[in-house]
A = this chain, B = another copy of it.
């Protein structure tokens, strides 16, 4: 592929790295273009605004998450729940290895920074989170149907709790400079508290 044809991808991957390791607002279009080795004219051929790049960055990370969730899926619902924790943990360990520190969740970071400032980005992130929550809920419902959940645990509420817990653990690992490997364990703890007695993944 020639340089022109992969310019869009270079822009998105560069913006993804800069947003994740710094923040959205602190990174300008000029810097993205310079680091991606793309002219501004080319940038504006693909994206009307920096917010449009944010949407593409979110979609890039969402595809990566989908891949990890599929890898960690399992026929047994208790194992599949453990797979959710593993998938999230692996992504964070991967970021830590690449950047030398816990940089946070790409969705959570943008959500914290932009939810009050950009409705389109906020709604796009909300849809990604809703899809992620629904993926977890499907596993929780399977676990519930097989009697694996603690009495009184609603599978949809548990899915929402797992997602929130993952987000909180990732954010606190970022601010505490804590190891990424503990994130999966923290999610596991939450799930374990909602499994019926004697059930393990």
Q: Point out residues on A near B: beta carbons under 8 Å.
A: 21-23, 25-26, 101, 103-104, 108-109, 111-117, 122, 125-126, 129-130, 150, 153, 157, 160-161, 163-169, 171-172, 174-177, 186, 189-190, 193-194
Contact = CB atoms under 8 A, between A and B. Distances in A.
Contact of A161 (B117, B130, B176, B186): B186
25 contacts: A23-B114, A23-B116, A23-B117, A25-B113, A108-B112, A109-B113, A111-B112, A112-B112, A115-B175, A115-B177, A122-B177, A125-B175, A129-B176, A150-B193, A161-B186, A163-B172, A164-B165, A164-B169, A164-B186, A165-B190, A167-B168, A167-B172, A168-B169, A190-B190, A193-B194
Contacts of A114: 23
Given A111-B174, A189-B157, A116 B22 contact: yes
